[in-house]
Structure 1
Amino acid sequence: MKFLRDRELHVQLLLLLPLTMAAAGVGFSRSHQAGCLALGLCALFALVLLGSAWRRYRTMEALCQDLDRILHGESGVDLDAYDEGAWSILHSQLTKLLTRLREQADRLQGDKDQMAAFLADVSHQIRTPLTALNLLGSQLADPSLSPDKRRTTSRELRQQLDRLDWLVNALLRMSRLDAGTVELCREKLSLKDLTYRAASPLAIPMELQGQTFQVVGEAQAVCDPAWTAEALGNVLKNCMEHTPASGSITVTLWENPIYSQILVEDTGPGIRQEDLLHLFERFYRGQNAAPQSAGIGLALARMIITAQNGTIQAANRREGGARFTIRFYRQSAPPAP
């Protein structure tokens, strides 16, 4: 009987022994019946003590078995049987502990599923340009390829390399933001200068398509110049890709005591209602997405902006076209959208 090894029980029995002897001595000094009664009462008390210890041990053993089942992944274990008497305090604490452990396990499983989906999306996004590079490399290896075709293939090869380089760099930026290892500078900047800086890599493609680009107004904001230019450049690139030839992209700047605002509007077809709710999700590509789109530009823009106490929202203009509203708040936290 393992419960007899309990040290607390040993102490109680050792304390009971001299008390029994003293009670028996006093009883027998008076009469034989009184001594026998004292011994009987002491024996009954010892039996009650042993029974209580045995019941406590059985409860503890059952609790240990239930906890072991929980640790091995069983979810239907009920601990309410221990919610009585002195066990109620332990039951309350164990319930809190198990609730916290289940929450952590669910969170870890969610992170694991998200990581698996992320790796699958990354593999898919990288596989596409790698496949194109493999085909283009095979074409360039053909000795009978004409000079004109070789130049065209080389240009396509360079485009795919640029796309792969941008994709890898964007993924690295997103991973750094996720890990919290990015130290964003806080500088007071002219948003007009920042807008022209973000649009400079798009100047030639816009000119080739006959698109017009203009910046209206002036405002200042406290933000990181390089990262914010990256975010705004991704928004402008999205607008450029969905604006037809001879269309226009307009950036309107404005500020008040609460926030500074960048309003980006284009004259494209706008955004489908089904895409508005998912537009800033990682690797999401809408039905009207550009063929070369990887679905991470706007997601990266959102991560950069929100990391600087800002918000970004997308909507459709009544006149047609898309509208992106970026705000950098001066307070410690922006209001809920």
Structure 2
Amino acid sequence: MTDAVPSLTQLLTRRLALIAVIVFLLNSLAVGIYYGSDRNALENEAIAHETQRMQDALVGRSVPEDAAVRTLYAAHPDAYAFALVDRGGSVLEAMNPELIPPAAINLFADDWVTRLDTPGGYLLVAGHEFGEQEDGQQQDGQHQDGEHEHGLRMIFVMASDPARLLWRAFLGEFYNHVWLPILPLVLLLIGANIFLIRRGLAPIAAAAEWARSLRPGEPAPQPPAAQVPAEIADLIDATQRSLDRLTEAFDAEKRHAAEAAHALRTPVAVLVARLDALPPGETTDRLRADLSALSRTVQQVLAASRADVLTLPENTTVDLRDMAEAVTAALAPFAYSKGIELSLTLPDGGVMVRADPEGVELALSNLVENAILHGCAGPVEISVGPGPVLRVRDHGPGLPPEAQGHLFEPFWRGPGAVPGGAGLGLAIVDRLQRAQAGSVEARPAPGGGAEFILSFRSSV
């Protein structure tokens, strides 16, 4: 089984979404290269982040021992250090002070950053003036003493970056300048594209639905009422004209086949009457068998013509019991001549279905004739139900493996088929059932032989 072909809407949506994703990735790459190449900006961003964490953790003029900000300096004593210094140059608190250059303690400025060359690389040293700080943080929403201190400074030192502060600063810039402003815009663009594509291609979907409803030999339904683009309107008009020509040719072909089959009935009947006047003998028997096969072929061609023009009016119902009784009575002489016993099993109540009486009779007759010809002198069992079904079971050789997928094809004949047939009987049954919104199924019967099931729509 082949994979389903995606619709035009799906193809366009996927391609536009792919374009939006590519544009987003290219923009992300460009922004990433820009910010990643500016190391000074990343260092300043990392310093600003750390000083803000320190300011948030201050309680009065110190940092509590359990503050989360201390984790960085405790985990990496050789990489990061900080000191809190007052206006007078006194160190109030520090962690890893051996990393802090002494000159940085007495450097008074609001914000400054310097890079010092060392034997192991360089040392990043920064200072930040906190300005006014409330002496004691609010524990319950109130100042503890209302006094203000001035000039609290933080000295920050980074000798290396095992905690990847620069990488975090890069991700922060990336988030603020790419993901936060651009990603929602990309998602909005994709959603708008999907909406506009579906709306723009709606006339094509309506035209496709109209085209799927076309049936050869039936009047074309009305085209889509909605306004469609000029190209789609031309396609619908051309399709309708082609369908009209096809319907005319189809009707002519059916008419010619029916006329030819009908014209052959009289000569065949004359030949049958003349054969009866011939003296019995081997040649006469062979002619009679050949003429019988010819007569069945003519009848099948006529049945095929009827199947092509079969229509089911609304509220047309038929009792399957009556159909089964009529077909059994009509084919009993034919079965007797072949040495085949016919049996009929009927339910107690009626089985009403939505079907055409002539269609049901033709379909069942073809199945019973087929069973008689292939029954190998065994009984042919006809039954109604359970449910809206007719069953025909024979005791012949069963369904050959070659029949899989070909059993209901016109003119297909399996190996060992009875001579004289045309391979039309089962194909006609399938066409009749589809015309009545029913189905036909063939399967091996328990104990040997084959069983054919005609299913119909219940009228209940």
1:96 and 2:225 equivalent? no
Q: In structure 1, what residue type is equivalent to 2:232?
A: K
Match of 2:409 among 243, 267, 281: 281
Listed one character per residue, the Cα deviations across residues 81-119 of structure 1 (whole Å, up to 9, x for unaligned) are xxxxxxxxxxx945535655786799799999999x999
**SS of aligned partner of 1:283:** coil
* Counterpart position of 2:370: 238
1:324 and 2:444 equivalent? no
Distance in 1 (alpha carbons) for counterparts of 2:237 and 2:400 = 42
Match of 1:253 among 384, 400, 416: 384
Give the unaligned 5+ runs of structure 1.
Answer: 1-91, 141-145, 333-337
Listed one character per residue, the Cα deviations across residues 264-305 of structure 1 (whole Å, up to 9, x for unaligned) are 111111112322322222232222322121222222222223
Listed one character per residue, the Cα deviations across residues 200-219 of structure 1 (whole Å, up to 9, x for unaligned) are 34323433444332222415
**Does the CA contact (< 8 Å) of 2:366 and 2:425 recur in 1?**
yes
**SS of aligned partner of 2:343:** strand
**Does the CA contact (< 8 Å) of 2:381 and 2:392 recur in 1?**
yes
Q: In structure 2, what residue type is equivalent to 1:231?
A: A
**SS of aligned partner of 2:398:** coil
* Residues 242/113 of structure 1: CA separation in 2 closer, same or farther (3 Å cut): farther
- What RMSD in Å do the two structures reach over aligned CA positions? 4.8
Distance in 2 (alpha carbons) for counterparts of 1:327 and 1:181 = 17
**SS of aligned partner of 1:312:** strand
Shift of 1:185: 8.6
Q: In structure 1, what residue type is equivalent to 2:323?
A: L
Distance in 1 (alpha carbons) for counterparts of 2:437 and 2:459 = 8
TM-score by length of 2: 0.39
* Counterpart position of 1:186: 316
Match of 1:203 among 329, 332, 340: 332
Give the unaligned 5+ runs of structure 2.
Answer: 1-227
**SS of aligned partner of 2:336:** helix
**SS of aligned partner of 1:299:** helix
Q: In structure 1, what residue type is equivalent to 2:361?
A: A
Distance in 2 (alpha carbons) for counterparts of 1:318 and 1:110 = 45
Match of 2:398 among 245, 270, 276: 270
Match of 1:214 among 331, 337, 343: 343
* Counterpart position of 1:72: none
* Counterpart position of 1:28: none
Number of residues paired by the alignment?
227
1:1-337 equivalence runs, <5 A: 93=229, 95-96=231-232, 100=236, 147-149=279-281, 152-153=283-284, 157=287, 160-161=290-291, 163-179=293-309, 186-191=316-321, 193-218=322-347, 219-222=350-353, 223-245=355-377, 247-256=378-387, 260-330=388-458
**SS of aligned partner of 1:207:** helix
* Residues 295/110 of structure 1: CA separation in 2 closer, same or farther (3 Å cut): farther
Decide which moves more: 262-271 or 282-291: 282-291
**Does the CA contact (< 8 Å) of 1:312 and 1:327 recur in 2?**
yes
Distance in 2 (alpha carbons) for counterparts of 1:227 and 1:237 = 15
**SS of aligned partner of 1:325:** strand
TM-score by length of 1: 0.51
Identity of aligned residues (%): 27
* Residues 101/283 of structure 1: CA separation in 2 closer, same or farther (3 Å cut): farther
Distance in 2 (alpha carbons) for counterparts of 1:265 and 1:297 = 16
**Does the CA contact (< 8 Å) of 1:276 and 1:315 recur in 2?**
no
Query: Larger Rg: 1 or 2?
Result: 2
Q: In structure 1, what residue type is equivalent to 2:376?
A: P
* Residues 243/186 of structure 1: CA separation in 2 closer, same or farther (3 Å cut): same
**Does the CA contact (< 8 Å) of 1:266 and 1:321 recur in 2?**
yes
**Does the CA contact (< 8 Å) of 2:371 and 2:394 recur in 1?**
yes
Distance in 2 (alpha carbons) for counterparts of 1:284 and 1:194 = 28
* Residues 111/326 of structure 1: CA separation in 2 closer, same or farther (3 Å cut): same
Shift of 1:183: 6.3
Shift of 1:319: 2.2
Flag the structure with higher helix content: 1
* Residues 298/309 of structure 1: CA separation in 2 closer, same or farther (3 Å cut): same
Shift of 1:226: 3.4
Listed one character per residue, the Cα deviations across residues 118-143 of structure 1 (whole Å, up to 9, x for unaligned) are 99x99xx99xx9xx99xx99xx9xxx
* Counterpart position of 1:21: none
* Residues 108/290 of structure 1: CA separation in 2 closer, same or farther (3 Å cut): farther
Distance in 2 (alpha carbons) for counterparts of 1:287 and 1:299 = 17
**SS of aligned partner of 2:396:** coil
Q: In structure 1, what residue type is equivalent to 2:341?
A: T
**Does the CA contact (< 8 Å) of 1:185 and 1:224 recur in 2?**
no
